[in-house]
Amino acid sequence: MDRFRDFFRNWFGYSRRERRSTFILLNLIVIITGIRYVFPFQEVSLKEIPIELLEAIPDTALKKTEIQAGREQKQARPPAVRKRVLDLNECDSAALESLPGIGPVLSVRIIKYRNLLGGYASRDQLKEVYGLPEETFELISQRVFADSLAVRKIKVNEADFKLLARHPYFQRAEVSAILKYRELKGVIPDIGVMLENKLISRETARKIGVYLDFGEF
């Protein structure tokens, strides 16, 4: 045993105190290495960085990337199409065909019915156009309007049978009654007189009123 001790002492040249110091140093190295594995360093990702810190970073590559991404997203969005609202008393057939569900046939019918009425007083009158489905009306109702001031008035006390009967809201029997009353009583002052004398029905009065001109008396 003494031989080995003398051998190592002669070979390494360590004294007892040096060996003790070396042993302690090795233990410290082992402990430090073990701590590294027991408590590994955590890498902080960009997701874990508080947004307040990111906002505080001036003009970084990260912020440039976010700005560029925002610009690309805006450019990728299709431009908003502004929907045109049509005046039913002014638009032509081509404008009407731009509406969903309105083709050449329906557009012609809408204009023909406008001419018969003397102009639309309300967009709801589109429901009276032959062949126009309720679903189509719902699709276009918010894209059209009717200026009631643009309707063509009928002079009740001057119009003949043909002109009165031409309007889709008048029944032929009602036209005959109006002309007969005018022949016997003279002028008709207002729509109330027409109702009182049963010249027209209440339903007709409700629809035709905006189209009648009784003149001044």
Residues with Cβ < 8 Å from 40, sequence gap 6 or more? none
Residue 84's pLDDT is 77
Question: For residue 64, is it within any domain?
Answer: no
Q: What is the dihedral of CA 5, 6, 10, 16, to 10 degrees?
A: 50
141 in the same domain as 112? yes
158 in the same domain as 203? yes
Cβ(131)–Cβ(105) below 8 Å? yes
- The pTM of this model reads 0.62
132 in the same domain as 97? yes
Question: For residue 95, is it within any domain?
Answer: yes
191 in the same domain as 163? yes
Question: For residue 46, is it within any domain?
Answer: no
15 in the same domain as 33? yes
179 in the same domain as 197? yes
134 in the same domain as 181? no
**Domain carrying residue 22:** 2-38
128 in the same domain as 103? yes
Question: For residue 30, is it within any domain?
Answer: yes
Question: For residue 45, is it within any domain?
Answer: no
* Structure-token pair, residue 8: 């190592």
28 in the same domain as 6? yes
- Decide which of 134, 150, 166 is a domain's last residue: 150
Q: Per residue of the chain (217 residues), give pLDDT as tens.
A: 555 455 555 545 556 666 676 667 777 777 777 666 655 545 444 444 555 544 554 554 445 556 566 666 656 555 544 677 999 999 999 999 999 999 999 999 999 999 999 999 999 999 999 999 999 999 999 999 999 999 999 999 999 999 999 999 999 999 999 999 999 999 999 999 999 999 999 999 999 999 999 987 6
Question: For residue 26, is it within any domain?
Answer: yes
How many separate domains does the chain show?
A: 3
Question: For residue 29, is it within any domain?
Answer: yes
Give the CATH number of the domain where residue 128 resides. 1.10.150.320
125 in the same domain as 170? no
179 in the same domain as 138? no
Rounded CA-CA distance 104/97 in Å is 6
Question: For residue 9, is it within any domain?
Answer: yes
